[in-house]
Structure 1
Amino acid sequence: MAQNGTVAVLGASGRTGRRVVDALARRGTPVRAVTRSSPAPPGAREGHTADLADEGSLVRALEGAAAVYVIPPVYRPDEDVLIAAAARAAARARVGRVVLHSVLHPYTATMPHHVLKAVGEDAVRRCGVPWTIVQPAMYVQTVSEIVVGTGDDVGLPWDPDAPMSAVHLGDVAEAAANILTGPGHEWATYELAGPERLGLAAMVQQVADVTGRPLRPHRLPPGGWSLFDPGSTEAETLVAMCREYTDHGLPGNPNVLSWLLGRPATRFADAVRADLARLQVAGEGCR
């Protein structure tokens, strides 16, 4: 348990890591931000550099930590190897607990990046350190920040009516902080899903309603969503994900998340409003 010790966050400079660091810091937990090269985010008491591909650097970065939250890089073809290295490093550093940030429904054979997380989960369970695994759904922020972006013409990369249970990243970070600092979470696997089943078109419309932006959604052809170089493994993984979303969506159940939070999970529109308020407080304006 980590009630009275330092929590290390691997991947602390990313979108998820920054939120987890912030959630831990707000409750007074000492946080060690472990990044590959970026400065430690605000709220971290310590900053260490380490590479998931260099197990020795991970061991040095984790020594003395009571718990570690492992956020692996997404869409990497070696993600399972990197998760296993983090788990071994935690055992070698004698960390008290490992919490892995996985994904909702990791055992989905048609999505390679989900399967890699499933293999990584197995490595965590076998590492000899008390563990917890969290399996978040697609983030609300994936829609509001990545799919929608900054333009008003919004390409929809999968079936706009396929059911999704998008989860607020703020809820995920709060649940992670509760798990890392509270008792009774060892040997548990938790699905973290939002409280609604919405299609992508409905989510985009809610972004438009909350922000007042005149969004114009249109369906993209298969492979038309370009986040990576065409023909790369990452691009092919993204195509496979969009195909699976079109065929089956990614629905989940919010009960576990609500239990971990001690309150109802945040609805989609409220999550968008919370992010707008967060940007305004930070002086960044809103898109």
Structure 2
Amino acid sequence: MPADPSTDLLLITCASGKQASALLPLLPHWKNMRLVVHSPTSKTRLQSQYPHAEVLNTDLYSPTATSSLIRNANVVLHIGPSYHPHETEIGYMMIDAAVTAYDSGKGHLKHFILSSVLNTQLRKMMNHDCKRYVEEYVIESGLPYTILQPTTFMDNLPIPVFMKEERPVFRCGWDTDIQFSWIALKDLAEGMNKVLEEREKHFSAQYPLVSTHDTVSFAQAISIIGDKLGKKIEVETALFKEAVDNLCLRVYGTTEGVDQRSRDAAQRMILFYDNRGLVGNPNVLEWLLGREATQFGEWVEGNMGEVK
């Protein structure tokens, strides 16, 4: 049966991050939500935005915590904490708790959705490799699962900043001519929503999710943005250490006290991107959405409209 948003309890981890922030506005009809965050600030913000939801500030790296979070949950959307040194173990604990809650089909859990990443086979990137293990674990768990594998987010590019600054400069952490496939967060959120609501239709599925029909390098992406804004955006390539610091700053809000294992993952990803990029195919996403996916220029125009 499809989901019943009027009665089902939906658990979302990393609920203050980019993916959940794009999804939550699509879920006003879900009457029972448990949103898991990592900071008191995020908890306060989400409680204000979604007063009907239960918002919990907790550390996912705990078997006790994960078991408590899944209590009475009918569907789990597990978004792992990016670059966390124990992201794999957190995924294992969430799945173990879900297996107990599912109880071979006799328990309250009905669906486990894992947000992963495009091409987890790319073991040279630690942030991909750790998700590969979690994918294997959920496939072997006996749970009714769906695995979503999004590519690089268009929304990581700061359109409001480019609009505000008179002479904007974009500093990239890798070769700006390397080709990438991109996804718009609004496409990802719509796809997640369909998987949530349609439920059984998506059991045992793995969906590589890409929006763009053609690959777009970061240099091309910035050029498209500049053309749409009617201004020149300078593109520079940061030195390696600066690129790592910038990525840590984006993920953690600081460069101080970041676990070296998290920095290792950032370093590996930057080196891989500098030579190979990340490329996929939009067919699966467009099938899932039932429409053409958002193309890069269209996404830029949409964000410009929202800012204005």
TM-score, normalised by the number of residues in structure 2: 0.82
Partner of 1:284: none
**1:1-287 to 2 correspondences below 5 Å:** 3-4=3-4, 5-25=8-28, 28-30=29-31, 31-37=33-39, 38-39=42-43, 40=46, 42-43=49-50, 45-49=52-56, 50-94=58-102, 95-144=109-158, 152-182=168-198, 183-195=200-212, 196-225=214-243, 226-227=245-246, 228=248, 229=255, 232-280=260-308
Q: Which protein has the bigger helix share?
A: 2
Partner of 1:283: none
Summarize deviations over 1:181-234 as a string: whole Å, max 9, x none. 104100000000122301110011122233445311122233331233489332
After superposition, the Cα gap between the structure-2 partners of 1:147 and 1:56, relative to the gap in structure 1 and judged at 3 Å, is: farther
Structure 1 vs Structure 2: percent identity of aligned residues?
Answer: 26
Distance between the aligned counterparts of 1:146 and 1:102, measured in 2?
Answer: 28
- Tell me, yes or no, if the aligned pair for 1:194 and 1:252 is still in contact at 8 Å: no
Aligned to 1:184, the other structure's residue is in SS state helix
The offset of 1:22, in angstroms, is 1.8
After superposition, the Cα gap between the structure-2 partners of 1:147 and 1:78, relative to the gap in structure 1 and judged at 3 Å, is: farther
- Tell me, yes or no, if the aligned pair for 1:32 and 1:44 is still in contact at 8 Å: no
- Tell me, yes or no, if the aligned pair for 2:147 and 2:207 is still in contact at 8 Å: yes
Summarize deviations over 1:89-126 as a string: whole Å, max 9, x none. 22233321110110001111211111001011112223
The offset of 1:149, in angstroms, is 10
Aligned to 1:223, the other structure's residue is in SS state helix
- Tell me, yes or no, if the aligned pair for 2:12 and 2:78 is still in contact at 8 Å: yes
For residue 202 of structure 1, what is the amino acid of its counterpart? Q
- Tell me, yes or no, if the aligned pair for 2:159 and 2:300 is still in contact at 8 Å: no
CA RMSD of superposed structures (Å)? 2.4
For residue 34 of structure 1, what is the amino acid of its counterpart? V
TM-score, normalised by the number of residues in structure 1: 0.88
After superposition, the Cα gap between the structure-2 partners of 1:33 and 1:276, relative to the gap in structure 1 and judged at 3 Å, is: farther
Tell me how many residue pairs correspond in the alignment.
278
Distance between the aligned counterparts of 1:184 and 1:157, measured in 2?
Answer: 39
Q: Which one is further off, 247-256 or 144-153?
A: 144-153
Distance between the aligned counterparts of 1:14 and 1:52, measured in 2?
Answer: 14
The offset of 1:177, in angstroms, is 0.7
Aligned to 1:93, the other structure's residue is in SS state helix
Structure 2, unpaired ranges of 5+: 103-108, 249-254
- Tell me, yes or no, if the aligned pair for 1:9 and 1:34 is still in contact at 8 Å: yes
After superposition, the Cα gap between the structure-2 partners of 1:14 and 1:146, relative to the gap in structure 1 and judged at 3 Å, is: farther
Distance between the aligned counterparts of 1:134 and 1:251, measured in 2?
Answer: 16
- Tell me, yes or no, if the aligned pair for 1:147 and 1:154 is still in contact at 8 Å: no
After superposition, the Cα gap between the structure-2 partners of 1:8 and 1:167, relative to the gap in structure 1 and judged at 3 Å, is: same
Structure 1, unpaired ranges of 5+: 281-287
The offset of 1:145, in angstroms, is 6.1
Structure showing greater Rg: 2
